[in-house]
Structure 1
Amino acid sequence: MIDRIHVDDAVTALRPDFAVLAVCAYGLANGPSDDRSRAWLAEAAEHAAPLDDPRLEAWRDAYRSFGAKPSRTRPSVDALTRRKPLPEINLVVDAYNAVSVRHCLPIGGEDLRRYQGPARLVRAAGDEPSEDALGAPEIGEVIWRDDAGVTCRRWNWRQCVRTRITEETVDALFLLERLEPLTLEELAAAGDALAALLAEITPGVRVESRLIVAGGSR
């Protein structure tokens, strides 16, 4: 899966500074939120970026670039940073939400076993299959999708139910998304932080990663 994740040229034409660090974790033993994950979330909230941080504004600008209004449908890291306290979902989701807020970048979490084909970041044609609760994407909207349809609308605004990480998730894909001024070094640090928390949840978890930038992988 990780070698087949694709970012379409139409997306990087929109934002040449976009990069995504794909992280796959295999053999997770997820479970309900506990004192550890509550501490991760509390620490992240304590060090959350201010709402006028340039890293958040970069995502608002990216939304405007394809016609979305970020005050109505907020980038995921923007919406999450505003939550007080941060929501408790389950151990794995708490881990990536904590890293998202602490490192000020959007992170999507997907159940790999519910995926059909590779993840692709594209601009919507407007006829993609989509869950009723998610709504149909608009033409030109940036979406994540697989062979079955839309997995996340408006870049990282709202995820579908089908691929969400639950307490039963064993294999997961995380998509850590970057725009400038966040550096590639900061993106890598966020990936390392996530891998460390996943290892706390499941010692011995197998993690692999791939950086995708405009023009290919690194």
Structure 2
Amino acid sequence: MLDDIWVDDSVRALRPDFAVLIVTAHGLRNGPTDDRSRAWLAAASAVEVQTDKIDAWKDAYRAFGAKPQRTRPSVDALTRRMPLPEINRVVDAYNSISVKHALPIGGEDLDKYVGPARLVRASGDEASEEALGQPEPGEVIWRDDIGVTCRRWNWRQVVRTRLTEETTNAIFLLERLEPMSLEELKQAGEELSELLTELSPEVRISSRLLSSGK
């Protein structure tokens, strides 16, 4: 799965500084928010928002024609929801890392994917859930063989691949633009892996970095 994920050259041309750290976790034991994941959310909520990193994502949205004040990058929307919402333990884990590092992170049920994930510019005729609406031509989207999995780069994910309390195998997409360094991106991935391992000691975690030229 990791080796088959790719980023289209048209997206790289739009933002040559883009990189994504892909983390897969097999054998998760998820469940409702508990005191442990609640503490992670509280600690992240206390961190000062790094507006420079969020502003970079707003610029990226404008580059493909989106209006970030109407459809906000995921990390921007998340930092506006303090205190952070309680979803479930795995989502709480990646949301806390997302806010701590001002880093968009998508978490999805790997078993609900059909074919590999890929980041592309939309043609405009991709299958999409009604609640998300149809992507516009040129819009940056994540998709699989069925259709859209996330619109407007990281604005909103589909219900089909949502992480639930029954999810056992997951994929996480940690998306970086400058001024975040690749070193911090890797650190965020390590921190996420630590939280997932704390939740599920037997979890099997793998990762792959996709950056410019790779």
TM-score normalised by L of structure 1:
0.97
Task: Give the secondary-structure state (helix, strand or coil) at the position aligned to 2:171.
Answer: strand
Task: Give the secondary-structure state (helix, strand or coil) at the position aligned to 1:125.
Answer: coil
Q: Name the CA distance, whole Å, in 2 between partners of 1:103 and 1:67.
A: 26
Deviations 1:43-85 (A, max 9, x none): 00101415xx210100000000000000000000011011111
**Aligned residue number for residue 130 of structure 2:** 132
Q: Name the CA distance, whole Å, in 2 between partners of 1:127 and 1:55.
A: 31
After TM superposition, list the pairs within 5 Å mapping 1:124-203 onto structure 2: 124-203=122-201
Q: Name the CA distance, whole Å, in 2 between partners of 1:168 and 1:94.
A: 15
Q: Name the CA distance, whole Å, in 2 between partners of 1:166 and 1:215.
A: 34
Q: Name the CA distance, whole Å, in 2 between partners of 1:123 and 1:106.
A: 18
1:75 aligns with 2:73: yes
Task: Give the secondary-structure state (helix, strand or coil) at the position aligned to 1:108.
Answer: strand
Identity among equivalent positions (%) equals: 71
Aligned length: 214
Q: Name the CA distance, whole Å, in 1 between partners of 2:113 and 2:12.
A: 24
Q: Give the RMSD, CA atoms, in angstroms.
A: 0.6
TM-score normalised by L of structure 2:
0.99
**CA drift at 1:143:** 0.2
Check whether the contact 1:55–1:181 (CA below 8 A) recurs between aligned residues. Answer: yes
Task: Give the secondary-structure state (helix, strand or coil) at the position aligned to 1:118.
Answer: coil
Check whether the contact 1:48–1:104 (CA below 8 A) recurs between aligned residues. Answer: no
Check whether the contact 1:48–1:101 (CA below 8 A) recurs between aligned residues. Answer: no
**Aligned residue number for residue 112 of structure 2:** 114
Q: Name the CA distance, whole Å, in 2 between partners of 1:205 and 1:41.
A: 21
Q: Name the CA distance, whole Å, in 2 between partners of 1:2 and 1:45.
A: 31
Q: Which runs of 5+ in 1 are unaligned?
A: none
Task: Give the secondary-structure state (helix, strand or coil) at the position aligned to 2:61.
Answer: helix
Deviations 1:75-123 (A, max 9, x none): 0001101111101000000000000000110000010000000000000
Q: Which runs of 5+ in 2 are unaligned?
A: none
Task: Give the secondary-structure state (helix, strand or coil) at the position aligned to 2:22.
Answer: strand
Check whether the contact 1:24–1:171 (CA below 8 A) recurs between aligned residues. Answer: yes
Task: Give the secondary-structure state (helix, strand or coil) at the position aligned to 1:97.
Answer: helix
Task: Give the secondary-structure state (helix, strand or coil) at the position aligned to 1:113.
Answer: helix
Counterpart amino acid of 1:56?
Answer: I
**CA drift at 1:200:** 0.8
